[in-house]
Amino acid sequence: MAFEYSEFLQEMDVCGAVYFALDVTERKGPSNLEIPLSFTLKTGWPGSTLTKLVTSISTHREWPMELERPLHAEKGPWRSVGKGWADIVRDQRIGPESSLVFEVVDDSCLVVSVFHRLKVRSFTKTLRSSHFRGHSSKLVCTLRTFCAHFCT
CATH number of the CATH domain containing 59: 2.40.330.10
What's the mean pLDDT when you consider all of the chain? 78
Instruction: Report the number of distinct structural domains present in the chain.
Output: 2
- Domain residue limits at 22: 5-116
Q: Containing H/E element for 37? A: helix 37-43
Taking alpha carbons only, the member of 102, 123, 94, 129 closest to residue 8 is 102
Mark whether 107 and 48 lie in a shared domain.
yes
Q: Containing H/E element for 52? A: strand 50-55
Mark whether 37 and 103 lie in a shared domain.
yes
pLDDT tens digit sequence for 65-83:
999 987 666 678 899 998 8
Residue 128 has a pLDDT of 67
Mark whether 27 and 42 lie in a shared domain.
yes
pLDDT tens digit sequence for 110-126:
999 888 876 655 566 67
43-45-47 Cα angle (round to 5): 130
Mark whether 144 and 112 lie in a shared domain.
no
pTM, two decimals, is: 0.69
Separation between Cα atoms, residue 77 and residue 46, nearest integer Å: 10
Residue 1 has a pLDDT of 40
Mark whether 111 and 133 lie in a shared domain.
no
